[in-house]
């Protein structure tokens, strides 16, 4: 889909700042004070306070007078995408088909900045994982979906990514060396799939393939997640690459 040309004069700065402020809240920052929100957003303390109070007034946030936190109403924004977007609805039948075939959890991830966001997950799941919740955000360097995207980056884009993203040791298995990761990304690009064994979440092994349109443009990633105790990454590759590739071919026309 061709993106329209949007001029700066047509933008509402207040809305931009308010949305940016809401996105400051995260698992690492569930509550924020006015000085913290101002420092993180680049706003003045006075402006940050007014934006936060507006969120409270509209029911998107609560406060104890010192700190602010989002309410369940904030979920309406993300749910609006799930309910209205065509892409998740078009992908779901194939996702469920792969889940039935493999008897494993299947999900679709999209890139959002330097994160991966799951927009579709199969109803079938025998695992309890933080990484497969709808709307969950994950880093790209240590996830199968993320490495598929990173493998498509130019050398300049990849250098810029490593310069701005902190590579944290999330599990004992997480690879954080840039040289090692670059070698792995070259491997992913050459073989057309990614395997991540307990690097993002201990006990979870993930196999993923890219989802491209008929022009070859990367649009999403399709992944299978299972317990590492059930099978290794090599076993996943041998057992599940075929159904993933079949789904990949079926979804190509859908992603145009």
Flag whether 80 is in a domain. Answer: no
Which residues neighbour 166 within 8 Å (Cβ) at sequence distance 6 or greater?
Answer: none
Q: Which residue has the higher pLDDT, 126 or 251?
A: 251
133 and 246 in a single domain? The answer is: yes
Flag whether 12 is in a domain. Answer: yes
Flag whether 249 is in a domain. Answer: yes
215 and 89 in a single domain? The answer is: yes
Number of domains in the chain: 2
Question: What's the full length of the chain, in residues?
Answer: 256
Write down the pLDDT at residue 17.
84
Which one of 20, 52, 75 terminates a domain?
75
Flag whether 2 is in a domain. Answer: no
Write down the pLDDT at residue 115.
92
Write down the pLDDT at residue 220.
93
Which one of 75, 94, 128 terminates a domain?
75
What residues make up the domain containing 133? Answer: 85-255
Contact 145, 139 (CB under 8 A): no
68 and 113 in a single domain? The answer is: no
169 and 247 in a single domain? The answer is: yes
100 and 48 in a single domain? The answer is: no
Flag whether 192 is in a domain. Answer: yes
42 and 106 in a single domain? The answer is: no
Write down the pLDDT at residue 16.
82
Q: Give the whole-number percent of the chain exceeding pLDDT 70.
A: 91
227 and 159 in a single domain? The answer is: yes
Write down the pLDDT at residue 116.
93
Write down the pLDDT at residue 255.
84
Query: Taking 80 as the threshold, does the pLDDT of residue 83 lie above it?
Result: no
Kindly report, residue by residue over 32-59, the tens digit of the pLDDT: 999 999 999 998 999 999 999 999 998 9
Query: Taking 80 as the threshold, does the pLDDT of residue 256 lie above it?
Result: no
Write down the pLDDT at residue 134.
58
62 and 140 in a single domain? The answer is: no
Which residues neighbour 110 within 8 Å (Cβ) at sequence distance 6 or greater?
Answer: 116, 117, 119, 219, 220
Distance CA 198, CA 196 (A): 6
pTM of structure: 0.74
105 and 69 in a single domain? The answer is: no
Kindly report, residue by residue over 137-182, the tens digit of the pLDDT: 899 999 999 999 999 999 999 999 999 999 999 999 999 999 999 9
Flag whether 1 is in a domain. Answer: no
Write down the pLDDT at residue 79.
67
Kindly report, residue by residue over 219-255, the tens digit of the pLDDT: 999 999 999 888 888 899 999 999 999 999 999 888 8
| pLDDT band (50, 70, 90) for residue 127 | low
| CATH at residue 90 | 3.30.450.40
Flag whether 3 is in a domain. Answer: no
Q: If you average pLDDT over residues 64-69, what whole number do you get?
A: 92
CA 201 to chain CA centroid, nearest Å: 14
154 and 210 in a single domain? The answer is: yes
Flag whether 60 is in a domain. Answer: yes
- Of 90, 111, 114, 78, residue with least CA distance to 208: 111
Write down the pLDDT at residue 135.
63
| pLDDT band (50, 70, 90) for residue 20 | confident
Kindly report, residue by residue over 192-205, the tens digit of the pLDDT: 999 999 999 999 99
Write down the pLDDT at residue 85.
62
66 and 108 in a single domain? The answer is: no
Distance CA 195, CA 249 (A): 20
As given in the structure block, the two tokens for residue 36 are 């913290």
Residue 225 β-bridge partners = 105, 206
54 and 97 in a single domain? The answer is: no
Residue 59: C-alpha distances to residues 55, 74, 224 (Å):
6, 8, 37
Which one of 75, 98, 115 terminates a domain?
75
């Amino acid at each position: 889909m061709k993106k329209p040309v949007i001029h700066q004069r047509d933008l509402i700065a207040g809305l931009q700042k308010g949305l940016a402020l809401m996105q400051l809240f995260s698992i690492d920052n569930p509550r924020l004070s006015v000085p913290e929100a101002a420092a993180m957003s680049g706003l003045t303390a006075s402006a940050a306070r007014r934006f936060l109070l507006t969120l409270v007034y509209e029911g998107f946030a609560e406060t104890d007078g010192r700190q602010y936190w989002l309410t369940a109403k904030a979920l309406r924004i993300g749910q609006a995408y799930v309910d209205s977007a065509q892409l998740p609805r078009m992908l779901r039948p194939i996702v469920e088909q792969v889940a039935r075939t493999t008897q494993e959890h299947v999900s679709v991830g999209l890139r959002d900045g330097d994160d991966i966001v799951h927009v579709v997950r199969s109803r079938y799941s025998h695992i309890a994982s933080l990484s497969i919740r709808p709307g969950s955000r994950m880093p790209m360097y240590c996830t199968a979906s993320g490495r598929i995207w990173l493998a498509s980056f130019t050398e300049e884009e990849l250098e810029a990514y490593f310069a701005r993203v902190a590579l944290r040791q999330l599990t004992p298995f997480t690879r954080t060396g840039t040289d090692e990761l670059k070698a792995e990304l070259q491997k992913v690009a050459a073989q057309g799939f990614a395997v991540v064994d307990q690097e993002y979440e201990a006990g979870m092994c993930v196999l993923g393939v890219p989802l491209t349109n008929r022009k070859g443009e990367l649009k999403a990633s399709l992944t299978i997640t299972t317990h590492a105790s059930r099978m290794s990454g090599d076993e996943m590759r041998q057992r599940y690459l075929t159904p993933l590739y079949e789904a990949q071919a079926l979804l190509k026309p859908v992603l145009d």
